[in-house]
Amino acid sequence: MIWDFVQNQLLGMKWLNALVARALGSAGVDVSSRWGGSLNFFIYDVIKITILLCTLIFVISYIQSYFPPERSRRIMGRFHGIWADCAAALLGTVTPFCSCSSIPLFIGFTSAGLPLGVTFSFLISSPMVDLGSLVILTGIFGARVAAAYVLLGLVIAVAGGTLIEKMRMDGYVEDFIRQVKGVDAETAELSARERLLYARGQTVFTFRKVFPYILLGVGIGAFIHNWLPQSWIEGVLGSGNPFGVVLATLVGVPMYGDIFGTIPVAEALLYKGARLGTVLSFMMAVTTLSLPSLVMLRKAIKPRLLWTFVTVCTVGIIIVGYAFNAMQFFIID
């Protein structure tokens, strides 16, 4: 009962949904109609995701203030082999960045001399998996789905980094990246007040950057939730289409969005009958392999390494999608 309260009322904010519905009803809006239901979905999800986003980014940024890039580099430098890839993937979970924002850190870690596999494990994990997405996924899909998503996301990050490292592709990093000198100076210790100011600044910066995508994602989700026929979604992304995972992944790759803006779309698709693995593959593709981030990444690495990265991530995401589809009835709460 306690966990149900946490999942439904604290994380899922079902009370907020009822409150918004009552407010719209008082204003004369019929929330059982398509337009009223779309408006209810939009207002509720925007407020819910905004509250969770700001709270989580503040907490995560405060924790992150203890691990600036130079300190993170030194910590990861203590690990070797697959353990270094695991450490980099775990570090990515506490960096609430989209794929484009992760690339400057990737460049910094690479120029500092960290192994290529380690930096790619971070690059995959950072946009795909973070603590904020874990909490929001728990509130929408349940604890088992959220835990499975994070675990398999980390598996993709570690496996992808390890495979790229084994392929010995260090020569496909652009020369100027290797020529950048790392910073060896000790990072000044921050006071509690400075950490709070840093967390507040990161929260404001992230919110301003992410909020347009939240609006876009929730708007698309509201349209899918109330306007697209369930039979159409089931036919394209349901169990009747064995290529649904591949289709969702390929559609998601050229798009650009933050995971906080992608979750409402996934929620609406799942509600309409899409398979769980198909929906989560779409989320992973959007957040990890967005076209703008690939354009930025091309400035740092050569085409062969870029296509290797895209191929490894795409194949991993598709495999995870089919695995989730097979486990759907066992992990949905």
Q: What is the distance between the alpha carbons of residues 257 and 240, in angstroms, rounded to a whole number?
A: 28
Q: How many domains does one find in the chain? A: 1
Written as six digits, the tokens of 102 are 């992760």
Give whichever of 6-10, 181-185, 320-324 has the largest mean pLDDT.
Answer: 320-324
Q: Which of these ranges, 77-91, 104-118, 180-194, 196-210, has the smallest mean pLDDT?
A: 180-194
Task: Confirm whether 120 is domain-assigned.
Answer: yes
Burial 114-126, CB ≥16 within 10 A → b, else e = bbbbbbbbbbbbb
Name the burial class of residue 188, with classes exposed (0-12), middle (13-18) and buried (19+) by CB atoms within 10 angstroms of its CB: exposed
Identity (one letter) of the amino acid at 332? I
pTM over 0.85: no
**Rounded distance, CA 278 to CA 269, Å?**
9
Three-state DSSP state, 306:
helix
DSSP-derived secondary structure letter, 170: G
Secondary structure (DSSP) of 77-140: TT--THHHHHHHHHHHTT----HHHHHHHHHHHHHTT--HHHHHHHHHHHHH--HHHHHHHHHH
Q: Above pLDDT 70, what percent of the chain?
A: 80
Check whether 41 has a pLDDT greater than 80: yes
Phi-psi region of 81 (alpha: psi -120 to 50; beta: other; left: phi over 0): left
Which is nearest to 106 in space by CA: 117, 91, 95, 122? 122
In a domain, 309, yes or no: yes
Question: In the prediction, which pLDDT does 143 show?
Answer: 80
Considering only CA atoms, which of 71, 57, 60 is closest in space to residue 188?
71
Alpha-carbon distance of 309 to 254, in angstroms, equals 15
Q: Is residue 244 part of a domain?
A: yes
Q: Return d(Cα 107, Cα 299) in angstroms, integer.
A: 10
**Residue 185: what pLDDT?**
43
| CB-CB contact of 288 with 152 (8 Å) | no
Q: Does 111 map to a domain?
A: yes
Q: What residues contact 189, with CB distance under 8 A and at least 6 apart?
A: none
Q: Confirm whether 28 is domain-assigned.
A: yes
Mean pLDDT of 306-321: 88
- Residue 187 located in a structural domain: no
CA of 52: how far to CAs of 25, 199, 313, in Å? 25, 15, 28
Q: Which residue has the higher pLDDT, 23 or 251?
A: 23
Domain-embedded: residue 86: yes
How far is Cα 56 from Cα 131, in angstroms, rounded to an integer? Answer: 8
Are residues 220 and 265 in contact, defined by beta-carbon separation less than 8 angstroms?
Answer: yes
- Domain residues for 198? 2-182+192-331
pLDDT at 22 over 90: yes
Task: Extract the tokens encoding 294.
Answer: 């690939």
256, part of any domain: yes
